[in-house]
């Protein structure tokens, strides 16, 4: 992966994409694989904001059936299967346990059963996955006694039983988004992270390019294309309002969602959900030997640049979870890590965002008198590939250009051509006995077929074989991230190329080890090393 701003050529593109979250990355892949020349700019790092602040689920959206959004659920379930097919090392079916209570209409076993029958019916092809181990079974009902054996944290008061159904877990959404980006570059797309779009270039009320500030190299460039796609997520409308000469454009509402990671407080056999006293839902997800707790869903009114997880939001989530489950008593001191982000939702007129639709919209800004610009609004992780396909179909209509057919649902992402994941992991364990089993398992899942390149670095330079956490991650991943995955800051490495910092601050010793290895690759001096460590430590500090 080369940063375009460091390897500029004199060229005009077919499409410029603003925003390097999962939506932008998927559109870049879709457009490039269908024959368009594409360049993408991301002001931070790829999958840094909303895409990284997910619940690590690729799901159909069972609760959307309450809003009768059958088409959205059908599309989400179809794309859930597609994600499992094209990224088998990242996406896994996982059981979800939903308890039923006598006192709650929302968790009534008969209503839930009706919903799950519909959910299974809409999940066409869930048993015909490319990797047969990824086949998803239908739901089943279990007794209250069996539910409590599986997850003792379920509240006993009024419990009448539970349902078990399946959705998918994404073990590392940040690297899954990166896999989309790598695949886009494989098809000829260009991209740069840490590259902020500062202005639209316009000619006769038509956007014909963008001005970009490279935040690493500290210089500005201008890039031309007849079409620009605004995929800035929660920043989409503020970007338009800022750059389109004061035109007031507002299509989005923003919803805050935070998550907490603690020591393991549930059994690893399932995700367990519960309806809160206020009628929403919360969940406990087994993740890397810990428990991931989520999530909030409340309106956010400020500018997205100013968003931070607050102590107040954390305490609200703790109170909700402790009330909804039994015997948890999780305190602030139990929190190892917390993260949050803003969901970009379509304006619905509803006062609370929890009931707002997760639909998306492809908006042509020609309706505001600015041609050559499309803005993508709303959406969710699971449907990002399908959304990208529709965006490129719209480009085809808008330009009249010959664009090839979509292939993104029929081929593996780069590095993920794995027909049987269990066989793949077993084989690489046997082939690499000089590394620990958990290191090989971790690298096989995070890098797929590219794991060999990481191990090669570790074998060639002994210090790079040093383990950094209980998952078995290595210093070699740091070098690989800088050389081949466009990592340019310490946070890029510890939060998005690896899992070193995603369970909380690993400590200054580890941060300095990683920073010094990066310094050798990026020519940082001691002052820059200290600055990177301080910035990362501050980011990982609980509010």
Q: For the segment 97-123, what is each residue's pLDDT rounded down to a tens digit?
A: 999 998 777 888 899 999 999 999 999
What pLDDT, on the 0 to 100 scale, is given for residue 354?
A: 45
Residue 92, pLDDT > 90, answer yes
374 and 344, same domain (yes or no): no
Long-range contacts of 206-212 (CB under 8 A, 24+ apart): 206/370, 206/371, 206/372, 207/365, 207/370, 207/371, 207/372, 207/373, 208/372, 209/16, 210/16, 210/18, 210/41, 212/5, 212/41
Question: What gap in Å lies between CA 287 and CA 49, rounded to an integer?
Answer: 20
d(CA 230, CA 211): 14
Indicate whether 448 pLDDT > 60.
yes
Task: Mark whether 380 and 428 lie in a shared domain.
Answer: no
Instruction: Return mean pLDDT, the chain.
Output: 93
Q: Domain containing 524 — which CATH number?
A: 1.10.8.870
Element (H, E) at 268: none
Residues 285, 146 within the same domain: yes
Residue 406 in any domain: the answer is no
- 338 shares its domain with 390: no
Q: What are the DSSP calls for 288-311, one per residue?
A: TTEEEEE---EEE-S-GGG----H
Distance, CA of 211 to CA of 199 (rounded, Å): 5
Co-location of 130 and 257 in the same domain: yes
130 and 192, same domain (yes or no): no
Question: 483 and 523 share a domain?
Answer: yes
Task: Specify if 461 maps to a domain.
Answer: yes
Query: Do 235 and 192 sit in the same domain of this protein?
Result: yes
Q: Is residue 109 part of a domain?
A: yes
pLDDT at residue 280 in the model: 82
pTM: 0.95
The answer on pLDDT for 353 being more than 50 is no
Rg, C-alpha atoms of the chain:
23
Q: How far apart are CA 262 and CA 179, in angstroms?
A: 28
Same domain? For 313 and 259 the reply is yes
Q: Which of 186-200, 354-368, 397-411, 512-526 is predicted with the least confidence, judged by mean pLDDT?
A: 354-368
Kindly state whether residue 492 falls inside one of the protein's structural domains. Answer: yes
Q: Is residue 347 pLDDT above 90, yes or no?
A: no
At 532 the pLDDT is: 98
Task: List pLDDT tens digits, range 298-318.
Answer: 889 889 999 999 999 999 999
Q: Are 254 and 352 in contact (CB under 8 A)?
A: no
- Does residue 179 lie in a domain region? yes
Q: How many domains does the chain have?
A: 3
In a domain, 459, yes or no: yes
Task: Give mean pLDDT, residues 24-49.
Answer: 97
More confident call, 24 vs 281 = 24
Show Cβ contacts of residue 406 under 8 Å, excluding neighbours closer than 6 positions: 30, 33, 34, 389, 392
The domain in which residue 198 lies consists of 4-50+174-250+358-399
CATH number of domain containing 389? 3.50.50.60
Kindly state whether residues 379 and 427 are assigned to the same domain.
Answer: no
- Least confident range from 85-89, 366-370, 455-459: namely 366-370
Q: What percent of the chain has pLDDT over 70?
A: 96
Counting every residue written for the chain, the total comes to 543
Q: How far apart are CA 531 and CA 527, in angstroms?
A: 6
Asked if the structure places residue 70 within a domain, the reply is no
Taking the chain, what is the end-to-end CA distance rounded to the nearest angstrom? 35
Pair type for strands 373-378 and 227-230: parallel
Same domain, 105 and 128: yes
- Looking only at the bridges linking them, the beta strands covering 140-142 and 190-192 are unpaired
CATH number at residue 313: 3.30.9.10
pLDDT one-digit tens code per residue, 258-279: 999 999 999 999 999 998 877 7
Judge contact between 365 and 18, C-beta under 8 A: no
pLDDT in tens, 136-165: 999 999 999 999 999 999 999 999 999 999
Sequence-distant (≥ 6) Cβ neighbours of residue 462 within 8 angstroms: none
Residue with tokens 């031309």, as numbered in its chain: 224
Is residue 62 a part of any domain in this protein?
no
Are residues 279 and 164 part of one domain? Answer: yes
Residue 409 falls in which region: left (phi positive, over 0), alpha (psi -120 to 50) or beta: alpha
pLDDT bracket for residue 352 (50, 70, 90): low
Q: What is the mean pLDDT of residues 290-301?
A: 92
3-state SS assignment for residue 366: helix
Q: Which pLDDT tens digit goes with each residue over 512-543?
A: 999 999 999 999 999 999 999 999 999 999 99
Q: Do 209 and 16 touch, CB atoms closer than 8 A?
A: yes
More confident residue, 56 or 68: 56
């Amino acid at each position: 992966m080369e940063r375009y701003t460091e390897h500029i050529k004199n060229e005009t593109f077919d499409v410029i994409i603003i925003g390097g979250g999962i939506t932008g990355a998927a559109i870049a892949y879709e457009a490039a694989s269908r024959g368009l020349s594409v360049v993408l700019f991301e002001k931070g790092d790829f999958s840094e904001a909303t895409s990284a602040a997910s619940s690590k689920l690729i799901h159909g959206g069972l609760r959307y059936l309450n809003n009768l959004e059958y088409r959205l659920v059908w599309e989400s379930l179809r794309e859930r299967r597609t994600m499992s097919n094209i990224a088998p090392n990242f996406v896994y079916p996982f059981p979800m346990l939903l308890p039923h209570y006598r006192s709650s209409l929302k968790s009534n076993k008969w209503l839930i059963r009706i919903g799950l029958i519909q959910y299974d019916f809409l999940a066409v092809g869930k048993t015909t996955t490319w990797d047969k181990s990824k086949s998803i079974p239908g739901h089943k009902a279990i007794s209250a006694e069996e539910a409590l054996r599986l997850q003792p944290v379920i509240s006993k008061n009024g419990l009448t039983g539970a349902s078990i159904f399946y959705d998918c877990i994404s073990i590392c959404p940040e690297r899954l988004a990166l896999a989309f980006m790598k695949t886009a570059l494989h098809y000829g797309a260009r991209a740069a992270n840490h590259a902020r779009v500062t202005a639209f270039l316009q000619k006769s009320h038509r956007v014909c390019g963008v001005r970009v500030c490279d935040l690493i190299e500290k210089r500005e460039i201008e890039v031309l294309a007849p079409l620009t796609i605004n995929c800035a997520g929660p920043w989409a409308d503020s970007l338009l309002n800022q750059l389109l000469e004061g035109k007031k454009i507002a299509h989005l509402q923003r919803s805050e969602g935070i998550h907490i990671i603690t020591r393991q407080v549930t059994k690893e056999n399932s995700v367990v959900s519960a309806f809160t006293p206020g009628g929403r839902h919360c969940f406990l997800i087994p993740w890397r030997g810990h428990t991931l707790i989520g999530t909030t869903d409340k309106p956010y009114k400020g500018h997205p640049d100013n968003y931070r997880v607050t102590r107040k939001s954390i305490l609200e989530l703790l109170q909700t979870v402790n009330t909804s489950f039994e015997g948890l008593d999780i305190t602030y001191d139990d929190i190892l890590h917390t993260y949050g982000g803003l969901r970009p939702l379509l304006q619905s007129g509803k006062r609370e965002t929890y009931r707002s639709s997760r639909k998306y919209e492809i908006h042509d800004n020609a309706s505001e008198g600015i041609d050559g610009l499309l803005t993508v609004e709303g959406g969710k992780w699971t449907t990002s590939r399908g959304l990208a396909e529709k965006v490129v179909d719209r480009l085809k209509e808008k330009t009249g250009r010959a664009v090839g057919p979509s292939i993104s649902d029929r081929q593996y992402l780069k590095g993920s051509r794995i027909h049987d994941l269990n066989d793949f992991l077993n084989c690489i364990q046997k082939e690499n006995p000089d590394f620990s089993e958990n290191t090989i398992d971790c690298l096989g899942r995070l890098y797929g077929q590219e794991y060999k390149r990481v191990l090669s670095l570790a074998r060639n330079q002994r210090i790079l074989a040093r383990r950094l956490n209980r998952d078995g991650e290595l210093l070699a991943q740091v070098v690989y991230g800088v050389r081949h995955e466009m990592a340019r800051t310490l946070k890029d490495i510890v939060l998005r190329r690896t899992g070193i910092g995603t369970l909380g601050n690993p400590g200054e010793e580890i941060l300095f080890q990683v920073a010094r290895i990066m310094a050798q690759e990026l020519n940082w001096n001691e002052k820059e090393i200290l600055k990177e460590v301080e910035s990362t430590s501050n980011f990982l500090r609980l509010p």
